[in-house]
Structure 1
Amino acid sequence: MICLICSSSFSEKASWRKLLLIKEPDVICEKCLSKFEKMKDRESENEWKGTIYDGALDSVQSIYIYNEWMKQVFQQYKFQLDVDLAKIFVSDFQLLNKVQELIVPIPLHPEMLLMRTFSQVDQLLIAANVPFTHVLAKTLNRSQVGKSKKDRMSSELFFSVTTDVQNKNILLVDDLYTTGTTLHHAAYALKKSGAQRVIAVTLIRA
């Protein structure tokens, strides 16, 4: 096998799960795999308390820490358009097949999608064979990089809801959680449109 990250040759470890086709084949070597750090339980910040977004997002969990290694891999995936890297996280996202909520990926703005050629969030779910439904449309294409937390919180709403979500329980999926602005904006739009509960999972948390 050839590692998708470092391109070195490696031998895949045998296991009963693989023999029974329960586990996907390895796509990266042990050395590269060992550099990823799983996210431990972390209390949610109360920085949204007192804003209009307070209570919009019921909970959020992240899978990995945004360490230097993940930053490098993420840049290669998202900005160098290395779509195959989504296969690295198949086993992490396959767990979503067990949830009861409607799985909704955070969308890209149409202009950004045209520039990037693929949605990085959609591709993570596609690689893991997880069914999802688009119910959100990104209405603003403004970068939040360099903005203060206060500016991000008070910015215009990013999303519109395009499908009936009345009384639905929704699981939002995104790639990176930094201040939580994107997810809170999305959850707020969904709750305003009648969603009952909105939780979220992200690949990485900064």
Structure 2
Amino acid sequence: MIILLVLTVISIIASLYASFIYAPTELVMGDIQRIFYFHMGTVWVATVAFTTVFIASIMFLKSGKRKWDILALSSAEIGVLFITLTIITGSIWAKPIWGTWWTWDPQLTTTFILWILYIVYLILRSVAGDNVKQARFAAVFSIIAFIDLPLVYISARLKRGISPVVFGPGGGGIESKMLITMLITFLACTLLFIILLKQRILYEKIKDNLRLLKSRAI
């Protein structure tokens, strides 16, 4: 865990250096574009987190094992945190460049729906508590909610809004130093996600152990 923490700190420092010093200033958007790296980092973590929820929920429904339920819940909480940061950083980026904090274009709308869906999942899972039947219902809901994730990416390519397409068909491409900076940020955010996930899972396991001790003491 110490090694992971050290690597995370180093990668975050490297990401900050690359974003503010190493990466060149974008010709059209200027320095405000530097928030792009952190924005894309949050998008990446949210994608990984919600994909983890999807897989863990399927495994929970299949096996009924608590560890998968814990993984889904823990990853969903982190995913909601990072998709919130995605919306915030995207709005900060959009205002000086496009003159608006938000528009209801297809990609932003599907992102907002994704945010709402996983908040609803967390509410459902919180209400479920130790009720296995309700926990399974929440897992089914999270699997359905996951359908919106690919729609976020597809929508940007079907109908262009203010959000730029960087990769894939229709993408504007990215300069090499910018790409390196973004990859470093992806690494930093991934390591941060792993640390947060491990700690959140540990917290849930401690809660389970305390609950078990209380039940035995009664």
Please tell me the TM-score bracket, short chain as reference.
under 0.3
Structure with the bigger RCO (C-alpha within 8 Å, sep 6+) is 2
Structure whose residues are more often helix by fraction: 2
TM-score in terms of structure 2 length: 0.26
Structure whose residues are more often strand by fraction: 1
Larger radius of gyration: 2
TM-score in terms of structure 1 length: 0.27
